Amino acid sequence: MAERTSITTDTTGRRVMAKLAGNAGEAVRLVREAELLEESRHPGVVELVGVDGHGVGSVLLTVYVEGPTLAHLGRIPLDEGAGLLAALATTLADLHELGLVHGAITPDHVIVGPGGRPVVCGLAYGGRAGRPLDVSPGPLPFADPARATADRHDPAFDVYGLGALARCLAPDPPAGHVLGTLAQQAMADDPSARPTARAVAELLQRSVPAARLPQSPVAPLGPAPRRGPSPADPLAALRGGRPG
């Protein structure tokens, strides 16, 4: 069962995203995510507010980022796709230099925030580079196949995600376009043959001089998220069992 999420407000009136751990496995992932968020304070990563409680029923709070995820973003021009991926690759390169691996770069884990800036969330499957893998992302459509046989966190997992997102944003790019080249290189079967995230960012910036962030992200598909309860009890919606 996926963790339940809800948009609510904290006691200061700030909008936050609350994620509830409904079972033991989710509780473990929630703690992992909070630890990584604490270590990866970055403008391109959702901001940790804190964790309320322990074990099953605990809640992770992060600052809410206004905007759709890539999973709900409409088709955008190739120049905007290149700009978005360059910014995302820069964020991942910064995390890798801190020794951190996101571990699950998927359209659902990339928010297109204000100004078109990509902001990553969903760090529950990540960890420190070189440390043993102890949480599997499961059969995610964008998961790196090499992870299934790996025993340690590898920044190359995130690079594979960049390539998969490039293929998603440009499923049929013009011949020779950098997004097609990036998808091929970043999704190489051998993780050691893939470029670094920093090299991906530099390639995109060099190859697409007109690269820019998306100017007008479309609204998320489906109904708008429900408002949370009053600031007096920002966690009541989740603890009452309401789905996010």
Q: What is the pLDDT of residues 2-58, one digit of tens each?
A: 568 899 888 888 899 999 999 998 898 899 999 999 999 999 999 999 998 888 889
| pLDDT recorded at residue 242 | 36
| pLDDT recorded at residue 200 | 98
Q: What is the pLDDT of residues 92-114, one digit of tens each?
A: 999 999 999 999 999 999 999 99
Q: Are 206 and 178 in contact (CB under 8 A)?
A: no
Given a cut of 60, whether residue 241 has pLDDT beyond it is: no
46 vs 66: CA distance, rounded Å: 11
SS3 state at 134? coil
**Of residues 219 and 62, more confidently modeled:** 62
- What's the chain's average pLDDT? 86
Q: What is the pLDDT of residues 113-162, one digit of tens each?
A: 999 999 999 999 899 999 999 877 666 678 899 998 999 999 999 999 99
Terminal CA-CA length for the chain: 13
102 vs 220: CA distance, rounded Å: 24
| pLDDT recorded at residue 227 | 37
Tokens representing residue 3 in the block: 């963790």
| pLDDT recorded at residue 5 | 87
| pLDDT recorded at residue 217 | 57
* Unique residue bearing structure tokens 């951190």: 100
**Dihedral over Cα of 121, 125, 126, 128: its sign:** positive
